C-alpha cells in the first residue's frame, strides 16, 4: 500500500508540471509603468492568446500582488478570440513586488505571466556642498548631504568643469567623480586640477523618476586649501635667559613642512585643568619667530594649550587644532590678607592659641605652602625668632614675657606675603547688649545684637557645639571688618539637632570688648517617646490615670501639651488636651463594666509621638446596689397602683361601670300581679352555705303604673327579670317575731304565717310555686352581688 501511495503522488506531481508547462506563453502582462511613485496607482492588463485552445473559455483570470490575491479584475472576450483581464491598483505601497496573472484551472492557480513593479521617490536636491584642498593627499575633497531615501536605484555623480572669471563660462570638462554606494563624499585627484584656476562643481542625483542637482559651487582649489596644524611644544630653557615671570609660559611650535611656502597666521587657545573652565583664545601669533610668551594666567596652575593655522592673507581654511600640550606656570608670592584671632589659656596666660584665615586680595593670590609666626626682640633689629611654622590655620605657642606682639606671614616657593602684626590687647571696650540667635533653616543660624557706644571697628564671631564640647578645634570663627552691622547669618558648619554656643566679641582701636555668648539650635527634634500610662484607681464610671513626664534632652524641642485619647467597644472616640506640666488625668462619664482603650500623645513644636495603648475595664455594680434599685422600682410601681386605684374610686364616671346598681324588687312592677298575702315557707340554699331561711315575707305595695323591666347579666339573674328584693330573717322559726319591720319607701305592711300553713298553700296553688321560684332566684342574685362587693373591698 505504501508503494502504491508513493507512486500516485509521483504521477500527480508529474501531471501538474506538465500542465504548468503547457500554459507557458499563454498569457502576457502589460503595465502602464513598471516604476511609479510610492502610493500612486498602476494599471495592468493580461491577454490570453488563441493558441491556448485547450483552456476553458469560461476560465477565470486572477491577479496576485506578491502572495496576496487582488480583487477588481475586469475580464472580457475580444473579437479575435483572445481573453483580456484588466486591473487597477489604486495605491502601490510596496517598494518592490511581483504582479502575476493567474488562471484557476483544475482547482489550482496557475501563473500565466508576471512582471516586477517598483515604487519610490525621485531624488532630493543634494545640500550643503563643500570642498577643501588637502595638500597631504593632493586632492580636492568634496562632501554633501544626500537627502532622504528614494527606495530606488539612484546614481550620484560629482560633476565639475574649468572656468574663467566668475565661473560664467565653461571651458574644459573634468572627469566625473562617482562615490561608492552609501557615501556622500568624493575626491578629485590633483592631476585633473589647476590649483589657481576657478572651477564649477555640483552634485547630480538621478533615478527612474527624475533628476536633481545641487547648487553650483565656484572656487579655486588653493582658496579652499586646509593646512595641517603645527606641532606645539615648550621652549627649551636657556641658562642665560631669566626664568619666566609668575603667571607666564614660554611656547614655541614647528610648522607643517608642506605649508612652508604658504603665508599663514596662527592662533592659540588655553584653559586651566582645574574646574570646568572654558577655552580662552589668543591670536594672531607672530608667524616668523614660531615662539610666543603667554602671560596673564594663573600662577602655579597646569594649563592645556592648542594651536591652529590658516592661509593668510589669501583665502583658506583653518587647520584642525593641534594635539594638547600641558604646561604649569611658575608660582608667585602669596598676596593675601590674614584675619587673625587669639585666645589665652586661663591657667597660663602666657600660652596663646592663635587662629587665622587667609583672604585673597586678588583673583590670583598665589598658592600658600605654610604659615610662619615669629617675633622680633627689642634691640635686635635683624634677629627674627620663629614661634610656630605650620600648614594649619592655628597655632599654640608660649609667648615670651618681653614680647608684646608677634608677626604672621604666609609663604611659598616664590616668597612671603606681607607680615600681619598681632597685638595682645586687653578687654577695655564696652560689651554688646541684647545678643540673641534664631534659626532660619536647618543649616543656618542668625545672630544679632545692638550696637554699643562707641561703635566697634569690627567683630569676631565664634560658634561651635554647646557646653558638652570643650575642644576649640570644633569651633568655627569669622572676623567682620564692618563695625556698623547688627547681625550675621551663620552658614558654615551648622547641622540640625545640634546645640551651638555662639560668641561675639567687639573689636576697637587697640582694644577689644568682653565676649558675650548665646545658645541656639538650627533645628530641634520632636519627642522620641511618650510617657507610659499607668492606672492609679478605677470605678464604675471613672478611671484615674497617671504618668511620669520624660526628662528634657538636648536637641529636642520642649513639650507644648499632652493629648489623651480613649475609645470604647463601640469605637466611639473621646479626647482631652492637657498642659505640658500635667502628670495625671481622670476619665469621667464611663460606662460600668465596659472596656476602654487609652493612649497619650506628647506634642512639641517639632512633632508628636504616641504612647502604648492602655486597656482598662470599669467595675461592675454590686449585689446590694441591685437590691436597692429593685426596691426603689417596686415602691415606685406600688405608688403608681395606689394612685390609680384612688383615682378610679373617687371618679363617678369610672365607678358605675365597675359596680352597677342592683334594682330593688319591691319597687319593681312585680307588685302589680304578686298576691297580696303569701304563706311563709322555709327553704334551703345549700350551694351558698348559709343558715336555713325560716321566714319569707312578701311585701305588698300600692298599685302603680308598671315600669319596664331592667335586664342584667343572665348568669346572675337565672334568666328572669329582677322584680322583687326579698328580706330574709335568719332566726329560730319558733321564736316570736318581735323585731319591728323596716320601713320601705312604699309603706308596705309585713305579716308572718306559720310554716305549715305556707307549705300547704304552696302545694295547693301552681301560681304560688312560680312566685317562690322567682323569689329564690332574686335572692340568690342579691347574695352573689353582696359577696362580690365584699371581695372587692
User: Would 402 be classed as within a structural domain?
Assistant: yes
* 392/450 same-domain check: no
* 273/341 same-domain check: no
Strands of the sheet with 487-490, listed across from one edge: 433-441, 444-450, 487-490
Q: Please list, in sequence order, all residues whose beta carbon lies within 8 angstroms of the beta carbon of residue 7, skipping any fewer than 6 positions away.
A: none
- Boundary (domain end) residue, out of 572, 597, 618: 618
Buried b (16+ CB within 10 A) or exposed e, 205-239: bbbebeebebeebebbbbbbbbbbbbebeeeeeee
User: Rounded distance, CA 141 to CA 313, Å?
Assistant: 23
Taking CA 629 as the corner, what is the angle to CA 626 and CA 632, rounded to the nearest 5 degrees?
150
* 360/384 same-domain check: yes
| Beta carbons within 10 angstroms of residue 242's beta carbon | 6
pLDDT reported for residue 790: 63
User: Rounded distance, CA 72 to CA 393, Å?
Assistant: 96
Taking CA 565 as the corner, what is the angle to CA 562 and CA 566, rounded to the nearest 5 degrees?
150
Q: For residues 112 and 23, is the Cβ–Cβ distance under 8 A? A: yes
User: Would 715 be classed as within a structural domain?
Assistant: no
In sequence order, what E strands does 481-594 have? 487-490, 499-508, 511-512, 516-521, 534-538, 542-546, 559-568, 573-579, 584-588
* 351/377 same-domain check: yes
* 102/174 same-domain check: no
User: Would 414 be classed as within a structural domain?
Assistant: no
User: Would 753 be classed as within a structural domain?
Assistant: no
* 260/315 same-domain check: yes
* 114/136 same-domain check: no
User: Rounded distance, CA 101 to CA 779, Å?
Assistant: 137
User: Would 767 be classed as within a structural domain?
Assistant: no
Domain CATH code at residue 565: 2.60.40.10
Averaged pLDDT in 10-residue chunks for the chain of 793 residues: 41 40 69 88 84 64 85 78 84 88 78 88 91 87 89 90 80 86 88 85 91 89 87 78 78 83 88 86 82 85 91 87 90 85 77 86 79 81 81 88 85 86 78 89 91 89 75 77 90 87 88 87 85 91 92 81 93 92 92 92 89 90 70 88 82 59 58 48 44 46 42 39 41 40 37 39 51 63 67 59
Q: How many domains does the chain have?
A: 6
Q: What is the pTM of this model?
A: 0.46
User: Would 626 be classed as within a structural domain?
Assistant: no
Residue 349 β-bridge partners: none
* 252/317 same-domain check: yes
| Beta carbons within 10 angstroms of residue 642's beta carbon | 9
pLDDT reported for residue 614: 92
User: Rounded distance, CA 437 to CA 453, Å?
Assistant: 21
* 286/321 same-domain check: yes
Domain that holds residue 275: 231-328
* 255/186 same-domain check: no
| Beta carbons within 10 angstroms of residue 168's beta carbon | 10
- Boundary (domain end) residue, out of 88, 120, 152: 120
> How far, rounded to the nearest angstrom, does the alpha carbon of residue 215 sit from its chain's CA centroid?
58
* 255/185 same-domain check: no
Q: Would you call 484 exposed, middle or buried from its count of C-beta atoms within 10 A (0-12, 13-18, 19+)?
A: exposed
Q: Is 6 left (phi over 0), alpha (psi -120 to 50) or beta?
A: alpha
* 183/113 same-domain check: no
User: Would 6 be classed as within a structural domain?
Assistant: no
pLDDT reported for residue 56: 62
User: Would 156 be classed as within a structural domain?
Assistant: yes
> How far, rounded to the nearest angstrom, does the alpha carbon of residue 702 sit from its chain's CA centroid?
114
- Boundary (domain end) residue, out of 453, 487, 521: 521
Amino acid at each position: 500500500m505504501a508503494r502504491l501511495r508513493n507512486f500516485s503522488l509521483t504521477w500527480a506531481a508529474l501531471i501538474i508540471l506538465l500542465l504548468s508547462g503547457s500554459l507557458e506563453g499563454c498569457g502576457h502582462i502589460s503595465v502602464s509603468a513598471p516604476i511609479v511613485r510610492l502610493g500612486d496607482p498602476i494599471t495592468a492588463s493580461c491577454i490570453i492568446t488563441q493558441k491556448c485552445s485547450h483552456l476553458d473559455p469560461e476560465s477565470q483570470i486572477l491577479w496576485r500582488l506578491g502572495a496576496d490575491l487582488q480583487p477588481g479584475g475586469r475580464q472580457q472576450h475580444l473579437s479575435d478570440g483572445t481573453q483580456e483581464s484588466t486591473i487597477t491598483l489604486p495605491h502601490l505601497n510596496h517598494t518592490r513586488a511581483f504582479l502575476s496573472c493567474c488562471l484557476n484551472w483544475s482547482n489550482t492557480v496557475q501563473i500565466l505571466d508576471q512582471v516586477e513593479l517598483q515604487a519610490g521617490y525621485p531624488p532630493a536636491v543634494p545640500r550643503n556642498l563643500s570642498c577643501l584642498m588637502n595638500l597631504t593627499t593632493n586632492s580636492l575633497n568634496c562632501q554633501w548631504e544626500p537627502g532622504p531615501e528614494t527606495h530606488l536605484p539612484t546614481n550620484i555623480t560629482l560633476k565639475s568643469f574649468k572656468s574663467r572669471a566668475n565661473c560664467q563660462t565653461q571651458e574644459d570638462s573634468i572627469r566625473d567623480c562617482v562615490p561608492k554606494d552609501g557615501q556622500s563624499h568624493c575626491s578629485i585627484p590633483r592631476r585633473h586640477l589647476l590649483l589657481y584656476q576657478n572651477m564649477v562643481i555640483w552634485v547630480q542625483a538621478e533615478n527612474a523618476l527624475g533628476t536633481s542637482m545641487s547648487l553650483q559651487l565656484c572656487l579655486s582649489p588653493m582658496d579652499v586649501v586646509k593646512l595641517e596644524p603645527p606641532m606645539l611644544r615648550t621652549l627649551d630653557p636657556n641658562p642665560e635667559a631669566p626664568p619666566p615671570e609668575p603667571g607666564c609660559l614660554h611656547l614655541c611650535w614647528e610648522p607643517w613642512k608642506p605649508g612652508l611656502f604658504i603665508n599663514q597666521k596662527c592662533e592659540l587657545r588655553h584653559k586651566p585643568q582645574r574646574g570646568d573652565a572654558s577655552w580662552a583664545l589668543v591670536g594672531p601669533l607672530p608667524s616668523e619667530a614660531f615662539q610666543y610668551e603667554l602671560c596673564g594666567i594663573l600662577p602655579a596652575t597646569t594649563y592645556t594649550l592648542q594651536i591652529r593655522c590658516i592661509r593668510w592673507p589669501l583665502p583658506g581654511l583653518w587647520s584642525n587644532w593641534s594635539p594638547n600640550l600641558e604646561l604649569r606656570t611658575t608660582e608667585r608670592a602669596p598676596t593675601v590678607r590674614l584675619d587673625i584671632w587669639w585666645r589665652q589659656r586661663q591657667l597660663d596666660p602666657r600660652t596663646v592659641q592663635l587662629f587665622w584665615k587667609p583672604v585673597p586680595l586678588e583673583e590670583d593670590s598665589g598658592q600658600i605652602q605654610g604659615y610662619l609666626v615669629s617675633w622680633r626682640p627689642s634691640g635686635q633689629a635683624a634677629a627674627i625668632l620663629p614661634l610656630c611654622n605650620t600648614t594649619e590655620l592655628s597655632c599654640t605657642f608660649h609667648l615670651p614675657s618681653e614680647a608684646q606682639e608677634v608677626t604672621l606671614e604666609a609663604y611659598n616657593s616664590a616668597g612671603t606675603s606681607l607680615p600681619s602684626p598681632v597685638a595682645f590687647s586687653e578687654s577695655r571696650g564696652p560689651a554688646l547688649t541684647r545678643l540673641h540667635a534664631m534659626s532660619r533653616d536647618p543649616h543656618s543660624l542668625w545672630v544679632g545684637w545692638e550696637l554699643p557706644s562707641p561703635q566697634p571697628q569690627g567683630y569676631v564671631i565664634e560658634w561651635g557645639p554647646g557646653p558638652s564640647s570643650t575642644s576649640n578645634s570644633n569651633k568655627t570663627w569669622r572676623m567682620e571688618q564692618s563695625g556698623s552691622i547688627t547681625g550675621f547669618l551663620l552658614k558654615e558648619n551648622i547641622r540640625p539637632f545640634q546645640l551651638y554656643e555662639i560668641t561675639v566679641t567687639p573689636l576697637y582701636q587697640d582694644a577689644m570688648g568682653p565676649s558675650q555668648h548665646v545658645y541656639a539650635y538650627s533645628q530641634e527634634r520632636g519627642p522620641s517617646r511618650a510617657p507610659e500610662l499607668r492606672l492609679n484607681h478605677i470605678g464604675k464610671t471613672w478611671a484615674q490615670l497617671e504618668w511620669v513626664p520624660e526628662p528634657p534632652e538636648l536637641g529636642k524641642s520642649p513639650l507644648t501639651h499632652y493629648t489623651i485619647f480613649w475609645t470604647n467597644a463601640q469605637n466611639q472616640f473621646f479626647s482631652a488636651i492637657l498642659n505640658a506640666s500635667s502628670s495625671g488625668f481622670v476619665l469621667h462619664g464611663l460606662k460600668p463594666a465596659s472596656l476602654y482603650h487609652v493612649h497619650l500623645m506628647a506634642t512639641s513644636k517639632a512633632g508628636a509621638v504616641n504612647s502604648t495603648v492602655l486597656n482598662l475595664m470599669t467595675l461592675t455594680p454590686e449585689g446590694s446596689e441591685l437590691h436597692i434599685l429593685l426596691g426603689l422600682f417596686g415602691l415606685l410601681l406600688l405608688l403608681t397602683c395606689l394612685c390609680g386605684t384612688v383615682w378610679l374610686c373617687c371618679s363617678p364616671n369610672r365607678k358605675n361601670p365597675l359596680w352597677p346598681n342592683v334594682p330593688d324588687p319591691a319597687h319593681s312592677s312585680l307588685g302589680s300581679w304578686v298576691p297580696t298575702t303569701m304563706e311563709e315557707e322555709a327553704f334551703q340554699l345549700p350551694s351558698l352555705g348559709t343558715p336555713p331561711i325560716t321566714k319569707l315575707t312578701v311585701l305588698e305595695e300600692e298599685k302603680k303604673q308598671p315600669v319596664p323591666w331592667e335586664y342584667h347579666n343572665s348568669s346572675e339573674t337565672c334568666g328572669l327579670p329582677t322584680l322583687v328584693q326579698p328580706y330574709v330573717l335568719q332566726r329560730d322559726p319558733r321564736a316570736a317575731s318581735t323585731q319591728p319591720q323596716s320601713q320601705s319607701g312604699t309603706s308596705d305592711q309585713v305579716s308572718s304565717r306559720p310554716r305549715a300553713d305556707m307549705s300547704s298553700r304552696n302545694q295547693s296553688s301552681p301560681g304560688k310555686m312560680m312566685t317562690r321560684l322567682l323569689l329564690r332566684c332574686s335572692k340568690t342574685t342579691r347574695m352573689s352581688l353582696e359577696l362580690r362587693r365584699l371581695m372587692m373591698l
